[in-house]
Amino acid sequence: MLCNVYLHRLDRQWSTREHGVLVRYADDVLVMCKSHEQAEAALQRLRQLLAELGLQPKETKTRIVHLQVDGEGVDVLGFHHRLVTSRPRDGRRPFTFLARWPANKAMQHARDRIRELTARRRLLLPVEVIVQDVNAFLRGWAGRTDDTTVGVLVLGNGSARRLRRARDVAVEARLVARRRPGTGTAGTRPVTPTVST
């Protein structure tokens, strides 16, 4: 919130006609330009406006990218954007469009979160709880990315194996509990109330 108030001056002083379209979310800025010369001028203007605010762009993240088919793309707000050409099908001509998918850093974060949810230390929890937690995360992830196939991509890191292991441990615990009558799932004898007369 404070970032938006502080950088509002940047939005007001930006000339779209002269420097291209400025897209900003909090402190993330993307400028779309028509030519390399316009991009160079936009970068200079951006540096100048930020310097007036006592700020400077992070050099490791600041660069000019020429979007072209099979070229490099750009990562913005957890998504990778790249110009691609469709595959020709049914006699139709291919067309070029800007595609987006979760960035590698965002995918790694999702894999790490699933790894936490299916960690060995959680094996003693009921498998239903683990599956419920993973499903909740994947529903949120698919809702944010608006892509239901991402859940399948995220599970390619051994999480499915850990979920099977959790299921197997739960099944084994139930079998052991059945073999020892009078024991609960935690291996303790249930307390039976006694009535004294």
Taking alpha carbons only, the member of 99, 117, 114, 101 closest to residue 156 is 114
pLDDT of residue 40: 92
How confident is the model at residue 190, as a pLDDT?
44
User: In this predicted structure, what is the pLDDT of residue 24?
Assistant: 83
Res. 74: pLDDT tops 70? yes
- Token digits of residue 12: 């007001």
Sequence-distant (6+) residues with CB within 8 A of 107 are 150, 153, 154
Round the average pLDDT of the chain to a whole number and report it: 77
Question: Can you give the pLDDT at residue 99?
Answer: 83
pLDDT digits (tens, 9 = 90+) for 38-49: 999 999 998 998
Say if CB 78 and CB 107 are below 8 A apart: no
Tell me the one-letter amino acid at 121.
R
**DSSP secondary structure letter of residue 158:** T
Q: pLDDT of 180-194, one tens digit each?
A: 555 544 444 444 444
57 close to 50: Cβ distance less than 8 angstroms:
yes
Closest C-alpha to 27, from 60, 5, 45: 5
Is the pLDDT at 64 greater than 60? The verdict is: yes
Per-residue pLDDT at 84 exceeds 80 = yes
Residue 157 pLDDT > 60: no
Choose between 193 and 117: higher pLDDT: 117
Indicate the pLDDT class of residue 152, thresholds 50, 70 and 90. Answer: very low
For residues 131-141, average pLDDT: 83
Higher-scoring residue by pLDDT: 104, 144: 104
Q: What is the pTM of this model?
A: 0.61
Q: What sign has the CA pseudo-torsion 134, 136, 141, 142? A: positive
State mean pLDDT over 155-176: 62
- Residue 86: CA count within 13 A, CB half-sphere: 11
